[in-house]
Amino acid sequence: MAKTKPKDTEEIIEGYDDEAFEALLKKRFGDDLLTNLDEAPVASEPGNFVPTPSESLNLALGIGGIARGCVGEIWGPSGTGKTTLVIEIAKQFQRIHGPIGYIDVENILDRNYASNLGLDLSRAKCKFSQEQQTEEVLNVVNFMAEAGLSVIIVDSLAALIPRDNDEEPDATKAKYAGNAKAMSTALPRIISSCRETGASVIFLNQVRNSMNMYGSNDTRPGGKALEFYAGWRLKLAKASPQPPHLADKDSKGNEIGVQIKVKVEKNKFARPNTFANYDIIYGRGIDRIGNIVELLVEKGLVTKGGAWYTYEDQKWQGLEAVKKYFYENQEQAEALAVEVRERFRIK
């Protein structure tokens, strides 16, 4: 037997009237059900994204940086500078939009290193925790997002311990998929909180080997939920081969840094599957000026002819000479970085 439609619904279906339809929606579901998309924020507009220290990564992300009000993931093998990148990003959020949250699940954050990179670790500027239980961490993340912290970092998803495993004294009897279930339940709430307050959440993640016989055997702990709910995902890897300028050693014979290759695997705000490179100088973080110079050469603002590089009426022999000049004239380098963003419509 067919269900009888409410009288007011029948009237709308028989003769649709927009004002009557919206009045009925508000009556039944509340005034906040519909949103005017003309007033919705656009990720590429100033204030809706936060630039990273790497201009090549900002270009690869398509909107000029990390979008606000969503969840993201940074993952990759060990030694690829995941923590360095997220500290540099958190520093930018902190500088532009205020206090951050940092949940150091792995208990390895070096306070001196983070401070050297420019992150303010004072309690007023950084809400720091070393909670490890999955469900509790996700509740804390949601609370911080509801409170409107600018960005919340979880380092890392792979180190979270589900409640069932935390209560099991025998580690060999650990239950599987605890993190995956918790993430599937918590992420919709976290995303809703981020949308309401403009907070961003960044999960760091590690790499595991799957038993897949075809294609890549790299996989990530924590289930599939984050892969679907994330607005953007970055995969980090060491560039191979490493560039010649990083082959030099310091006075003690140690390597001075490493070049990182980033793949934007997912991007809801611009084209995905784009790439960026940047150098990490050990102890100093991402080499922003060096990255700007390499981008200027790549985009043709600094022209290359043989071993010579030219910008307007200035010439240098070798890329390192160009970098040395812009290290000494950083304001000019920053102005040229703005020119690159504007020329390639990244604003």
Q: Spell out the domains of the chain, with CATH numbers in brackets.
A: 37-286 (3.40.50.300), 288-347 (3.30.250.10)
pLDDT tens per residue, range 101-141: 999 999 999 999 999 999 999 999 999 999 999 999 999 99
Q: What is the pLDDT of residue 346?
A: 54
Phi, psi angle pair for 234, to nearest 5°: -115, 130
Amino acid at position 305, single letter: G
With a cut of 50, list the residues of the chain below it in pLDDT: 1, 12, 347
pLDDT at 347: 45
Measure the CA–CA gap between 284 and 85, rounded to whole angstroms.
12
The three-state DSSP-derived secondary structure of 29-68 is HCCCCCCCHHHCCCCCCCCCEECCCCHHHHHHHCCCCEEC
Backbone angles phi and psi of 119, in degrees to 5:
-80, 130
166 neighbors 133 (Cβ within 8 angstroms): yes
Residue 34: the pLDDT is 82
Question: Is the Cβ–Cβ distance between 198 and 69 less than 8 Å?
Answer: yes
**φ, ψ for residue 177, nearest 5 deg:** 70, 15
Q: Which helix (H) or strand (E) holds 314?
A: strand 314-317
Q: Write out the two tokens for 60.
A: 């690869």
